[in-house]
Structure 1
Amino acid sequence: MLWWIIDGAILLSVEGWVRVTAYRQWRLLRRRQRRYGVRRVRIAAPRLADEKFLWRRLFDHDPRFTVLSDKIACKDWVREQGFAVKLPRTLWTGDDARDIPDAVWAQPIYIKAGHGWQMNIPVLSEPADRMPLIAQANEFMAQSHGLEGHQWGYANVPRQLLAEEALFLDTDLIEIKYYTFGSIVEQMVISRHGDPTTSARWLRQESGGYARDDRPTTVSPIIDVLPLPPAADEGLRIAAEIGAGFDQMRIDTMTDGEDIYVGEITVYNQGGRAHSQGHYAEAPLNRSWDLRRSWFLTHPQSGWRAIYSSALRRRIDARERQGHGLA
């Protein structure tokens, strides 16, 4: 009982620190959670997936997050780990799109910012006028997600551009995003970029296998009704292997149905939230997310963070003993 009281005081103090340090993000989360009937937001001892994402942004400063958030360095990391995966080729890197060689412009590419998300320009045929594309790409150099929303992993990523080969031009591109919790893949989100784009969420079943969810995703309001492509099984293997080293990760892949490539490894899903599930304790994105596997709780901390990490671990252990699982 004494430890519970002491830990409660520690967690309450940290909760106050969160509200001062990240008030805007905390307020946005509270507003969103209240729409779903969640009356109290807890970040110091998070229970829900959206709370855990904000906790990660504020506390879990795994050095690998910087590498994974860097679209250029991430590919090198995947190769260095020895994962048996295919990766799209990087054809050019630099800090000024005016330096992209003519030979690169002549082939189908994506121009991307290596230091952020949703900063991609498809150039699927050689443009008659490059200047608007160059200007758009160079604008990416002024943006930093590390300074926005406390997405710590991006903070130290060098600002660079890259030109990457475009894959599967002769067929509709299929994207599959695997949500991993250790080696467990709790859900897949598949998107078929045809006309129209369709998308579906596939959830892991306790009996084994995956079943399609009946709710639309953020990608498209049209639910994809086709079976999973054959490559999905290979993607599951890849995602489980990469995800095994983390408490939670999203592995983004591209496929034509047969061949599959790893496109990115995403630390902060949708900037740090779980669409339609982040408020629900029994949701797949919460029930397997064990913060005790995180870098913050598996590596020594210093100062007040050391005191806090011990209190948080004890609180999670106590929840589990009381039958509340990880929520």
Structure 2
Amino acid sequence: MSVQEVKGSSDVSAEYVLSAIQEYSSSQNPSSFLAVNEGNSYFALPGRPGVIVYRPAGDFLVQFAGPFAPDDSYVELAREFADYAQANHRRLAIVQLQKHDAEIYAREGFTVNQIGASYAVDLSTFTVAGTRYMQLRNKISRAVRSGMTIIEADHEQWKDGVRNINTKWLPLKGEGARPLEYLVGQTGGEMQKHRRLFIGHIDGEAVGYVLYSPVFGANPGWMHDLSRRLPESPAGVMEAINKTAIDTFRSEGVPWLHFGFTPFTSLSDEREVPGHSLGFKWLMQYLWENQVVYPASSQLAYKQKWNPTLITTEYAAFPGKASAEGFVNIWRAANAM
């Protein structure tokens, strides 16, 4: 049975989803590769191309991005999935819609609000020359002088080192911290062959890594995804690894390096869509100012070091009124609470 003959999630393969995010550029979502994370559920229609990605959380189905589908089945897929959620006595919350998606969902009667933004660097003009980047260059130099060697690594050969970093990295985030899921990438598994892994090691011991996921659509390239380090790793390890990756990508002619979604950032009145919720807008601004759910300011500060030249607004959507409970369950699906 092919995926086009399935309604629901039982027989939709990650390989089909990968082909969908490569082929259908309607959403232009720089985080689209997250659709193939292990643990995701998929919804497709009989005889219709395209797929919707989601995870259950509480009483909600939390949809990731818009439908990865051609224009002639996009709206039908969106409507049918909303009906599917209702028929299964679940409410629907959608995260990381792009502007194109947001406008469609607003026309379909959803309440759509900004939830943050994604950031990207044009590698054709990228530089770390000049006084503006002096601090960044110094951090990179200190990491390199510590004896660290940076390589593009095979995950299978370095999986023990990656696992060790993952185990020791989480306590750096504070008491009670959880590793995020769903809205960030993964290491290992069947889809690792499509990702790229850069590791910093000292005398053969991995001390930090950055995982990059492919980006398709209008601004193709790679997305700076997971980045983790040992607590005792030298200052500047993440910056040094990322600079090595940038040099590699530039030598290959890669046009863009994306830094992914950061919630609550780059909020502005002009980016809202018609019918947005004033209460939800206030909540996003409050969470940006108080940093009580996610350390958005530190994440944004790291991304701004690299002088991003493309800022892409991302949205959340809810059938009918905006839902604070739906927002909570978005974060529950992401293992943030």
The alignment's TM-score, normalised by the length of structure 1, stands at: 0.29
Bigger fraction of residues in strand: 2
> Which of structures 1 and 2 has the larger relative contact order (alpha carbons within 8 angstroms, sep 6+)?
2
Q: Could you state the TM-score of these two structures normalised by the residue count of structure 2?
A: 0.28
